[in-house]
Structure 1
Amino acid sequence: MKPELHLTERAGSSGWRDPAPAAPAGPSRNFWAGLIAAVTVACLAMLLSAGQLRPRESGAYRVSVPLDFKPFDPERWAIMNSESYADALKIDPSLPDPRSIDYADATALPPVDPAALRDEAFVGPPAKPYVFRGASATDRERAHYCLTAAVYYEAGSETDAGMRGVAQTVLNRVRHPSFPNSVCGVVFQGSQRAGVCQFTFACDGAMARAPNRAGWLRASRIASAALGGAVFPGVGLATHYHTTAIWPRWGQSLVMTNIVGAHIFHRWRGRWGMPDAFRVPYLGREPVPGPYLAVADQLAARALGTAPTALLPAGSGSTAAPLPDVAPAPLPSAMAQGDRAIGTPVPGAKPAPAQPTYADPRLNRSGEVRDEFQNSGEWIR
């Protein structure tokens, strides 16, 4: 009889069982679970120490602050709408004084002009207002005459803006340490020698012809305003200028500020061209107005194309002769200012010498005078 094998099955189980799997290499599952739990506890501890999480306890972390919020405070509103600090001080005497921190009332300032801001960005800072007061009546008269002559002979055919630009440049030089500290000294600087003056009209014979009365009066008005403190910001702190027809070599070493009329204006580079450099006070002492080389000698030197030594003042040589002293002396009768009309002779003054006629062959149709200029060179009546 053959033996029989009986297999008994239970519900949900099999009589055949797989062998138990081998344990995997590395940390066990319990190890990873413990590590995660430790990290979680550490993070919670850090949050609690930093105050991010607080236990919900009563009393220890609860603070009540009474609030008395007013959406409309009549007193504060009245202070903010006060017309002046004095009015606000009547409402609240404890207000701080705004002048203690050098704060000006912004409502009293004029509105900012965008065009003026653009001009200042291009031209540079303007000159500071300064009144040029002569030490005596003679000094004031001399300063006015010299500035008027510069404005007339340099920009007599231009608009008021062109004249004001020339006047501002002259006065900028007066206050700069690089130039003489007087109006006449600046205008006639270098006129002791023909052809080397700072302003061409002072040594090229241009003053041989008497000025036009209307043009001279207009230049006189502009010179008077400039000496009285009027500033022309259109040229900034310019100390040099030249006509638009030329470009001298020295123009490359300066900063162009603007073009006004027929002139291009320049200022110094660096700090020498900033407002702090124009600090020399005006002492009010004016030398005798130039030109310091006779006009007849200027014309002779111009005809020869050079400045002969015989025409130079004594002691000039390679060094310019010093300016005359400031002893009182009458102005030329054709330019006399003050209460006298232009052309009225100064009492006691010597008659002006007759100016020679000349014709420069280098000029086109030299010697021919147009009808409207037939009377040029004569004293104005």
Structure 2
Amino acid sequence: MIDARMKPELHLTARSAWLDPAAARPAGPGRNFWAALVAAVIVASLALALSSGAARPHGFGPHRITVPLDFKPYDPTRWAVMNAGSYADALKIDPTLPDPGSIGYADAAAQPPVDPATLRDEAFVGPPAKSYAFKGLTALDRERAHYCLTAAVYYEAASESDDGMRGVAQVVLNRARHPSFPNTICGVVFQGSQRPGVCQFTFACDGAMARAPDKAIWLRASRIASAALGGSVYPGVGLATHYHTTAIWPRWGKSLVMTNIVGAHIFHRWRGRWGMPDAFRAPYLGHEPVPGPYLPVAGQLAALRGNGMAAGLPPIDGAIQPAPLPGGAAAPMPQAMAQTGTAAATPTPSAPPPAYTDPRLNQSGQIREEFRKSGEWIR
């Protein structure tokens, strides 16, 4: 019999056949440790490659630039410059300081104080239109634009002050720059004048142009139209695209934003983005169409009487020669303006002048009866 106490190794050998042997402990780090170490090295390498731009030709990620600085935490010279009372005092300390005027700097204290009334008006009216010069492609285009704008200013605001005329001119120019209207001056002024009652400006389709213009007032309207076409802006109406007299209040008035009241007219602009400066970017092509009205004045009167077109008049797509000025002088519109591509828009010399049954249309410089109370307070 073998004594197990005397032979321990035999005893362990005998039990190894029935029991699982004990797990052998490795001498160094385990397998999981090495796998984690390899993964960490790979991740660090990728991060370094991406940050340095090696992964892509152009690289991405943060870039670091090292700039040497000579500014100490406490630099007596720099500290004195920053605490100088004026630029002149700072320049005495450091003559290398840049000139503030080179970047458009201006001393606010040197500017004149802002008038509170001006601030109030700007807040009420809104932003003004941007200056824009309407230059026609040819001399004919420039003459057409000048005549059409002068006609609008005269027939819409002949009894107004200069500011009242400027407001009308500014509305026409605002429309010409807005995508909702034609991008020509004559196109805006005589839009819809092919039919009576649907024109944008009343004078273009109600027979008002049969009235011979007053020479002095026409010249004043011409001067204002010339300045407006040259880039002059009247901020009193802002970006207004509509107006009406103070004697009426149309239904569309509630859908717009009122900008101002100038003389006998109330001006409005679009709501939202359509009434903001960015909307007024339509390019002016510089080619002006034939000035209107595109329905002759006699035809307008006949249509308003309910008798249709009068016989022997030009087609509705033509234009008429404006009424002569007092003293026999013609209104400033070149004869070439009345010509279309195929036929002349003016009546033939042998055609008799049209007769107007309404005597009010022959009263030069007078206000029509329905607008006689314009400018008075609405009761």
Question: Structure 1 pair 307/119, CA: closer, same or farther in 2 (3 Å)?
Answer: farther
SS at match of 1:292: coil
1:105 matched to 2:113: no
1:292-371 alignment to 2 at 5 Å?
Answer: 292-304=294-306, 332=322, 334=324, 342-343=330-331, 351=349, 354-359=353-358
The CA distance in 1 between the partners of 2:288 and 2:365, in whole Å, is 36
Question: Structure 1 pair 312/278, CA: closer, same or farther in 2 (3 Å)?
Answer: farther
The CA distance in 1 between the partners of 2:335 and 2:202, in whole Å, is 31
Question: Structure 1 pair 307/166, CA: closer, same or farther in 2 (3 Å)?
Answer: farther
Match of residue 212 from structure 1: 214
Match of residue 254 from structure 2: 252
Q: Following TM superposition, by how much is the alpha carbon of 1:282 offset from its aligned partner in structure 2, in angstroms?
A: 1.0
Question: Structure 1 pair 93/191, CA: closer, same or farther in 2 (3 Å)?
Answer: same
1:92 to 92, 95, 99: 95
Question: Structure 1 pair 190/68, CA: closer, same or farther in 2 (3 Å)?
Answer: closer
1:274-293 alignment to 2 at 5 Å?
Answer: 274-293=276-295
CA contact (8 A) 2:242 2:268 kept: yes
CA contact (8 A) 1:258 1:264 kept: yes
Q: Following TM superposition, by how much is the alpha carbon of 1:195 offset from its aligned partner in structure 2, in angstroms?
A: 1.1
Question: Structure 1 pair 310/368, CA: closer, same or farther in 2 (3 Å)?
Answer: closer
The CA distance in 2 between the partners of 1:265 and 1:185, in whole Å, is 21
Match of residue 270 from structure 2: 268
CA contact (8 A) 1:188 1:197 kept: yes
SS at match of 2:289: coil
Match of residue 31 from structure 1: none
Q: Following TM superposition, by how much is the alpha carbon of 1:358 offset from its aligned partner in structure 2, in angstroms?
A: 1.2
The CA distance in 2 between the partners of 1:134 and 1:266, in whole Å, is 28
Residues 159-218 of structure 1: CA deviation (Å, up to 9, x unaligned): 111101000000000000000000000000000011110000000000011100001000
The CA distance in 1 between the partners of 2:111 and 2:96, in whole Å, is 26
Question: Structure 1 pair 90/169, CA: closer, same or farther in 2 (3 Å)?
Answer: farther
CA contact (8 A) 1:289 1:331 kept: no
The CA distance in 1 between the partners of 2:289 and 2:78, in whole Å, is 74
SS at match of 1:259: strand
Give the count of matched residue pairs. 279
1:196 matched to 2:198: yes
SS at match of 1:241: strand
Q: Following TM superposition, by how much is the alpha carbon of 1:312 offset from its aligned partner in structure 2, in angstroms?
A: 11
The CA distance in 2 between the partners of 1:67 and 1:261, in whole Å, is 65
1:180 matched to 2:185: no
SS at match of 2:266: strand
The CA distance in 2 between the partners of 1:147 and 1:89, in whole Å, is 59
SS at match of 1:130: coil
Q: Following TM superposition, by how much is the alpha carbon of 1:114 offset from its aligned partner in structure 2, in angstroms?
A: 2.2
- Whichever residue aligns with residue 188 of structure 2, its letter is V
2:167 to 165, 168, 176: 165
The CA distance in 1 between the partners of 2:364 and 2:269, in whole Å, is 41
The CA distance in 1 between the partners of 2:95 and 2:220, in whole Å, is 56
The CA distance in 2 between the partners of 1:353 and 1:110, in whole Å, is 64
The CA distance in 1 between the partners of 2:111 and 2:320, in whole Å, is 46
SS at match of 2:288: coil
Match of residue 87 from structure 2: 79
The CA distance in 1 between the partners of 2:117 and 2:157, in whole Å, is 25
1:123 to 111, 122, 125: 125
SS at match of 1:356: coil
- Whichever residue aligns with residue 79 of structure 1, its letter is Y
1:138 to 132, 137, 140: 140
SS at match of 1:181: coil
1:242 matched to 2:244: yes
Question: Structure 1 pair 211/370, CA: closer, same or farther in 2 (3 Å)?
Answer: closer
Question: Structure 1 pair 68/120, CA: closer, same or farther in 2 (3 Å)?
Answer: closer
The CA distance in 2 between the partners of 1:368 and 1:96, in whole Å, is 67
Question: Structure 1 pair 113/302, CA: closer, same or farther in 2 (3 Å)?
Answer: same
CA contact (8 A) 1:333 1:345 kept: no
- Whichever residue aligns with residue 357 of structure 1, its letter is Y
User: How large is the Cα RMSD of the aligned pairs?
Assistant: 4.1
- Whichever residue aligns with residue 244 of structure 1, its letter is T
SS at match of 1:125: coil
Question: Structure 1 pair 174/146, CA: closer, same or farther in 2 (3 Å)?
Answer: same
Question: Structure 1 pair 133/372, CA: closer, same or farther in 2 (3 Å)?
Answer: closer
Question: Structure 1 pair 369/80, CA: closer, same or farther in 2 (3 Å)?
Answer: same
Q: TM-score, normalised by structure 2?
A: 0.63
- Identity of counterpart residues, as a percentage? 64
The CA distance in 2 between the partners of 1:72 and 1:203, in whole Å, is 75
Question: Structure 1 pair 167/97, CA: closer, same or farther in 2 (3 Å)?
Answer: same
The CA distance in 1 between the partners of 2:114 and 2:140, in whole Å, is 41
CA contact (8 A) 2:128 2:239 kept: yes
CA contact (8 A) 1:188 1:198 kept: yes
Q: Following TM superposition, by how much is the alpha carbon of 1:105 offset from its aligned partner in structure 2, in angstroms?
A: 2.5
- Whichever residue aligns with residue 105 of structure 1, its letter is A
Q: Following TM superposition, by how much is the alpha carbon of 1:117 offset from its aligned partner in structure 2, in angstroms?
A: 1.1
1:114 matched to 2:132: no
